[in-house]
Structure 1
Amino acid sequence: MVGRENQHRLERLENGQWKTDPASERVRELDEKLVRILGMDYEAFTRAILLPQGQFDLFLRGSDKERRATLVALYGLESLGEMAKRVAERLKALVEKKAALEGELKALGEVCEEELERLEEVLAQLRKDEVRLQEEIQRAKKDLEALRGLEKKFEELGRLRRRKESWERAQPEMETLSRQLEQAKKARALRPYVEGLQALESDFSEAQAQLQQTQNRLGSLERRLAELRREYQPERLEALKGQLAGIEALRLKEDALKRYGGRLDLRHPAPLPFDEDRMQFLREAEGLFKQKEQAQDRLAQAERRLEQARRELEEAQKKREALQKEIETLKQQGQEKREAHQKAEAWLEAERVRQGLAQYHPHLRPGEPCPLCGQTVDRLPPRPEGGELERLEREVKSLKDELDRLRERYATQRGHLKGLEEALPNLQKQLEEAQGSRASAEDELRSLEARLWGLASLEAVQEEQQQRLASLAEELHRATQGKKAEDLERRLKDELKHLSTLEKQVMQAEEELRHLQNEERGASARVETQAKQLEQQRAVVQALLEAAGFESPAALEQAWMEEEELVAQERRLEAHRQEGLEVSTRLRPLEEELAGQSPVTLEQVRAQEQKLQGLEMALREAQRTLGAKEAQLEDLRERLKRRQEALKEKAELDQKTDLWEKLAKDLRADRFPDYLLERYQRGLVRRASELIQALSQNRYTLELARGEYQVLDRWTEAQRPVRTLSGGESFMASLSLALSLSEHLSQGRIGALFLDEGFGTLDAESLEQVAGILETLPTQGRLVGIVTHVETLAERLPARLRVEKSPKGSRAYWD
């Protein structure tokens, strides 16, 4: 049980440490692994390892029918009924399968080897006919292929002759195209010269326009430069630069005034000179005064926490001492009540025995067997007198209730004491932490007072700050005439910027003027040079046109062809030439090959195709017949094979059916269960007899006679039924049977055994005898656990695991 949720966990010991097995995460997998480890499932475990309360006493004294039902449940023989049902189902399935085989054999009929041989002879002849037809088809295909080849050659001859006639008709057009291509190539060669002349003419026009534009820009720039020189003042520019150099010092002082909380309009009747270091010192002192107040508050809080921690610790210690005294008192009272309860129970049990014997006193006769023990009565015992049984029962109950109340109070107070003892270290730790906090606060306060030595108060520090800031404010007011340094700087910078801009504009205009003057001289020289080049190029182009047969540039443009068109026409001309060459090359050999041969007609080809189709149809019919006969032969073989297999299966089914019919008959008559129960019970009694002999110091042995358990007393050599045994003797016999059955069911796979018997119903004498039996129990190395509520029996066991209930739940611990 972990927390409030049921959990199953399997652990294994590895290298001295317990580790959780992965199978613990899934219940089904964990159950399967436990079955593999233990060699038994849950039902077998509860039968062999945990012996339930009162079951084996009933088994010992019950009737033969009751013992039979108990053994069937313990050995799991209930499954024999299911086994009989499954055997009947298996027998029914075998009978149905046998009937189906007989029906199949009847359907197969009579199949003989002679019919199979006749069908194989027919198939051999059909295969010969198939080979003959395939050979004739191959010859017909070769003849058809030869006719089709000759037909294609005559068709090719006609196509080549038609291509030759078409080529001859296109030849004049191709000659004209050849002359056009020649002129186009000349035009492409001369065109760069014409384009060069046109480019020169265009450049000359652009140079003239650029010269005129440069001259216009030069006149405009000269007028603008004259206006800038009239507005520009170099002396004022230098004066402004000097004034701006002192602005930085004013800004630093203004920043200091703001940093220490002053204003430009601050005044004081007794100002002091401004000192940056002194002001920094005063500001730090102001912060230290505030830290001192905070440190005093922390010290007061630490002292309050310390006092509270002391009170809580003292109260907890007082509660612990009171609980310890109360627990000791409860322990003494519990021991006294337990002793009184045990004595009262002993008196009550003795009174019950005395009252029980008093009921049998009238039935005792000297010389006759005792109805309780069966021994012969020699003389009558004195008649017991009546007692106060009801008063003793009330006293035992009262003592038991008071003892339970004391135990519950004892457990509750022990829990409170444990919780208090766990809390005391934490309270002591809180006290020590509070003491440390107070010491830290005292150290901090003394450090701050040492650093503030020589300063009167926070108000004196703040007054001196105001005096020094007032002096700095007056100085700034005189320098800026009541304005901010930022505003003064902005006005001076704006005027400086304007004059600086004028200065740059004058310099740029002068530089641009020099550049335009140079540009105007260069443009004039280019115009003169291009005029001379243009005249020379015009003479050269005219001479080239006349030499190529072109009257003018317009005639050259008329003969011009684009690169794509020129290439396409050349390809067309080349394709025409290749066409003529290919036709003449292929036509001459074909005419020589077909000279003197008659053309193949379409009727000749169709006649040969029909002959081939007839042969192929005859082959398909022969193959269809052959396939049908082969399928018939295969079916005949399968039927013959299946008939032989069915006969063999039927013989095997006959044997199985006889075996399962015998097994079903045995199970229906309970002969097999009776055999198992008799064998199990004899082995059980034999082992139980060995155990009771060991437990009784060789006095008793057990026997099974006519379905009843008998005990043989070797001291008196008398045999009597087990129901005549006393309480202790009956427990010894039941325990021997339980141990025998546990050994048989577990088969030594688990070294443990747990007895859950009703020891509380035994009288004092029987209980003493049972305790002696358990102490001498032959465990053979196994762990034997006794589940009991009898305190006197538990105290005689070597190790005790106690389970106690309380309002908080159950608790288990080793005593």
Structure 2
Amino acid sequence: MRLHRLDITAFGPFGGCQSVDFDELSAAGLFLLHGPTGAGKTSVLDAVCYALYGSVPGARQNGQGTALRSDHAASGARTSVTLELTVAGRRLEITRQPPWERPKKRGTGTTLDKAQTWLREYDAGSWKDLSRSHQEIGEEITQLLGMSREQFCQVVLLPQGEFARFLRADAEARGRLLGRLFDTHRFAEVEKRLAERRRATEAGVRDGDAELLADAHRMQQAAGSAMELPELAPGDPGLAEAVLTAAAVARSTAREQLTVARCRLAAAESAQAAADRVLDDVREVARLRRRFADAQDRARLLEEGGDAHRADRQRMDRARKAEAVAPALELRESAEAEHRAAAGAEVRARAALPASFAEAGAAGLAAAARRTAEELGGLDSARRAERRLADVRAERADLDRQERADEEVLHEAEVWLAGWEATRAGLQDRIDAAQEAASQAEQLAVRREPVQKRLGAARMRDQLAGDTEQAQKQALASGERALQARAHWLDLKEQRLNGIAAELAAGLQDGEPCAVCGATEHPAPARKVAGHVDREAEERALAAYQRAEEAHAENERRLGVVREALAAATAEAGDTPTGQLVEEEGELERLHAQARRQASGLHAAREELRRAEQEHERRTAARREAELRAASRLARREALDRERTSLEGELAQARGSSGSVAARAAELEDRVARLTEAAESARHAEDTAQRLKDADARLADAAFRAGFDTPQAAAAALLDAAAHRELQRRLDARQAEEAAVRAVLAEADTAAAAQRPPADLAAAEEAAAAAEQRVRDAASACDAATRRCAELDRLSARAAAGVRRLAPLREEYDRVARLAALAAGTSAENERRMRLESYVLAARLEQVAAAATVRLQRMSSGRYTLVHSDDRSGRGRSGLGLHVVDAWTGRERDTSTLSGGETFFASLALALGLADVVTDEAGGVRLDTLFIDEGFGSLDDQTLDEVLDVLDALRERDRSVGIVSHVADLRRRIHAQLEVVKGRSGSVLRQLGH
């Protein structure tokens, strides 16, 4: 990167336009930027940094919108910085203008212009615009230079004060500076990620160990007192092995207990089998004795009931004989019942007939029914004619009703259609009026919105007018106070400069050299006059001026903000008074509301017109249909009248004396039914009387053959089904009981058991119960031992699986914890307790020290060498130590022990070495222009010559170096100069060359 030209306008202390030709200054390779303190030497470097990055170095980068502007600039001059340079083989021109609160072109007050940035490139003999985007230009410059603003300020604008502090700083401060320059935060992120990874894997291992301990507690509960848990916590080493060992011991003990329980169970089962056999024998003897005694009791009961059994057998024999007479009895009862029913039906049927048929037989009744049926058949056609006449009359009445309804429809349609045109015209007028009101409402809404905005702006304008006046008064007052404070400070400063000799003379002592002339004799020292201004008074005046200036700047800023807001409100509201706008807005609002009310009936009017049109179509169609129906009814009515006259004559002849043909037919149908029913009843009664006589003869014959004197005796001997079953059951039970008793009494075992003495059943049962309880206890113990073994096997397998599953995570935790401790510098393997980021920075610092040593040895005539040290300082971590080796003494000491002059050229060498390393780190961007800020006043002549020789060596590499200093001796040694001259109206730049 090589600088060509810098143009400054209203920037910092420079009130006007200043230009710097770096090509002319760099021709000699070494140039001097000098001027009195506070003139603006550093502001030239600030302008270069601002042109490249849009901000200035250090703490001055805050509040740039107003802090960069010169207090000496004219009100119409805008702050601007233009830098022309060559970087990466491209010649570029960058122009930056910070935000500016300028006076308005019309009226009073100020307005704020936004920041502006231009980037141009010189190509093919002309300048071409590349971009006006602040962000795009910033990215382009940063990419071309390969450095951030902090790196540029540290590498190109070499601040000697900071490097002197760097030499004396501790490891933490050096680490912060190197971290900003070399961007090593990624290594800190690696440390952080490793620590997070260690915590995550540690949590996983602890969770796994907690689960393993939980399984161990479960195994302890399952094993009872046969297992002891290790006294270890989750995460402790050896926990898995201890748990698995304890589990193995518990499993072995549980299996031994299971073997003992199984042996006890087998012995208890054998004893129970023997006791059960004894109990079965005792129970069998007792059962046989009870069986024999029961058989004897049953035999006595059978003997006592012998008479009743013989009576049952006789009764069963008579019943079996009576069963032969039962069919004849049933036949006779059935015939008698049928005859009684037939006789009763005949009586009822004859009672419904006229008296003339009371003595008629069945044949006579049947003949009368046939004659009446023939007469009924002749009325069929008359009944059809009667039904048709009813239909004709109903249809004729329906036609009359339709005619009356159509007449009403025609009348209503005529009346409604007569006023249709007037109704339609009225509805259309309503629609037109509502549409016109809707259009008017839209127009009023369009007119109302800008009036409302202007009214709001006018109210804001009125409010801001008062605020502006107040702010202007405050700004004028603070400006006057600032001018008075500045004039007072300048007057005091001038008085102090006039009496500075007396102030210097106050510190003279005989025999000691004068700080001005170097003489040891002081024959006529200056004396302080009345009203002498000392340094403290000047500083108080300066502080008062600065406070007044800050207050004035704040008031000006507030005034600018209020004026800008007032201008915006005035531009929007115009000059119309607020009251007039209120009246105009109220009138528009009233008219708009009125138009909206009128337009709100548009939809209702349209709907009403649509319904009216539909009603008109319906009424017209109804009238047309009614007329068509009236024409068709006339012909139908005449045909129905003719048919009705014909049917009435036919029916008058057919119905006779009855009211109607249907009544006559119903009368004949009823007579036919009664005659037919009476004939059938008489015939059925005759048949049942004959069957009853035949049944009586067969019953008497059957009773005589069965051995009964009369049929009544046979009927008395019969048994019903339930009585027969009950009698047969008693006989069968008696026979079965006799056989069973005989069989029991004939059993040899039962008779033999009856002869034996009684057995002790209670003692046998107690012995069997005790044996059974012992078996249950042994079985419970065996089951518990089996479950214990199974549970221990399951939990042991689960614990072993957990250990296997946790093994990779434990290995990962060991590996990650070792790496995290190593990177964090807390591991015992990290002997120097150096963090990873510190290690990387140490490598960079070692490179910087090596590059700086090349120049430091030349500046110090080979005496000093900078070396990097990994030693720890105090309780801190090592890695960023910096020592200097003194070749005269052969000893290595800390850089903080260097003297003022030694510190300067050591820090200069360090700055140049750091510039080389950062340049290589940034991708090898060539830096053809460097600036070195202050520090040369602490050097003697010889050291100064050596330092200048080193700087001349930079020129040999086609670099130009600018020295920023106010040391007078440098003006004689360096011919190319850029002088900053300050005055009451601001500083100016003057370029000198020989």
When the two structures are superposed, what TM-score results if normalisation uses the length of structure 1? 0.39
- When you count strand as a share of all residues, which structure comes out higher? 2
When the two structures are superposed, what TM-score results if normalisation uses the length of structure 2? 0.33
